[in-house]
Structure 1
Amino acid sequence: MATPARPRRRADAERSIARIVSAAREVLGRDPGASIDEIVTAAGVGRMTLYGHFPNRAALVEAALADAIREGEEALSAVELGGDARAAMTRLLAATWSLVAESARLLEAAEELLPAARIRELHGKSAARVEDLIHRGQRQGVFRTDLPTDWLVNVVHYILNGAAEESRAGRLRPGDAPAVVIATIESVLAPPR
């Protein structure tokens, strides 16, 4: 009895998609302006295969960013966030920094093609984690309450991405970046005297 071809084709398609997304993350992580040809070469597939799964560059970049965020979420979910909110924020920022540094160029590619609202939506779990931690710190009296929480969450995001840009530009040494990020965000979140 012959095995139906349909499940095999689906498995092949899933492997092909995974190769393309992985190659896009790698190639765009080095050069946000990399061409589709560079991505298909890295993936070991043809242009028709890529376009069979992703109708345009924006769809591919979104899939690559979503994959990077999903992988980052797996890592961040292991960070211990209990206890003192300041100490938990420090642990979260230390773990987040390496993820931001790794995906900064991919994010740059996404910002060129995707609406800002879509990028915020993809980062929703991460933003919610920071927001929950800020709320807890406010209840503990260790984080400021005089500014809107949404603003504080966005400032954390801006500082992380700004540090990645400064590091990439050579104005902030990569080894110094985590401490600089943590000190800056701690000062932003500290209650005014």
Structure 2
Amino acid sequence: MTASPRPRRRADAERSIARIVAAARERLGTDPNATTDDIAKAAGVGRMTLYGHFRTRADLVDAALRGAVEDGDRTLAAVDLAGDAYEAMRRLLVSSWALVAESAALLTAAQGVLPAGRVRELHEGPAARVGELVRRGRDQGVFRTDMPTAWLVGVVQHILHGAAEEVRAGRLEMAPGELSDMVTKSVLAVLAAPPAPGPSPAETPPGRAV
């Protein structure tokens, strides 16, 4: 009895898909306007092969962004988030910024062809990690409690992605270490619990400055 060739064809197809997605991440990571022809050439496949796996450019961009987010999420899962939530958030932000800066052009490509809801859906994993850390910081008294967690998570994402776009567009030119420090400080300033209000003038003991 002759063995079925289907497993072989399936393995070949999976390898072809992997090459195409890897090429898409590489090309779109440097040029968000890269065409499917550019990507097919980088992957070493023909247009018919590419379109056999991805019917539209949007489908291919979706796969590329999904792969980048999944790889990034695995990297962030390895960040030590134990102990003080403020310092844990600092460590998470440093790693997050490195990943966001690396994929800024790819995200721009995705925002150009994918619905906003789909881009948010793909980032649910990283957003959930930030949200859990924000909630823990509230319990520890180091993060503010006067704004919804969902809003604070959204602000964190906007700062990271906004800074990456400014860098990509050439409007923000700083050394990598300075950029990371600036982004981290900006986010922590938003999240930090405001200082407790001091005594009113009427409550200030005589002879003590306010």
- TM-score of the superposed pair, with normalisation by structure 1: 0.97
The C-alpha deviation readout for 1:111-155, integer Å capped at 9, x for no partner, is 001111111110001000000000000000000000111110011
In structure 2, how many angstroms separate the alpha carbons of the residues matched to 1:159 and 1:153?
10
Shift of 1:167: 2.0
1:33-182 equivalent positions in 2, closer than 5 A: 33-168=33-168, 169-173=170-174, 174-182=176-184
The C-alpha deviation readout for 1:71-103, integer Å capped at 9, x for no partner, is 101111100111100010011011111110111
Partner of 1:12: 12
Say if 1:76 and 1:96, in contact at 8 Å, map to a contact too. yes
In structure 1, how many angstroms separate the alpha carbons of the residues matched to 2:59 and 2:103?
17
**What is the root-mean-square deviation of aligned Cα atoms in Å?**
1.0
Structure with a larger share of its residues in helix: 1
In structure 2, how many angstroms separate the alpha carbons of the residues matched to 1:32 and 1:8?
34
Partner of 2:208: none
The C-alpha deviation readout for 1:11-51, integer Å capped at 9, x for no partner, is 00000000000000000001000111100000000111111
Stretches of structure 1 lacking an aligned partner (at least 5 in a row):
none
Letter in 2 for 1:22: A
Partner of 1:190: 192
In structure 1, how many angstroms separate the alpha carbons of the residues matched to 2:21 and 2:66?
10
In structure 1, how many angstroms separate the alpha carbons of the residues matched to 2:9 and 2:109?
31
> How many residue pairs are counted as aligned between the two chains?
193
Say if 1:163 and 1:172, in contact at 8 Å, map to a contact too. no
Q: Secondary structure of the residue that 1:95 maps to in structure 2?
A: helix
Shift of 1:170: 4.6
In structure 1, how many angstroms separate the alpha carbons of the residues matched to 2:82 and 2:103?
27
Letter in 2 for 1:20: I
Give aligned-pair identity as a percent. 61
Letter in 2 for 1:128: A
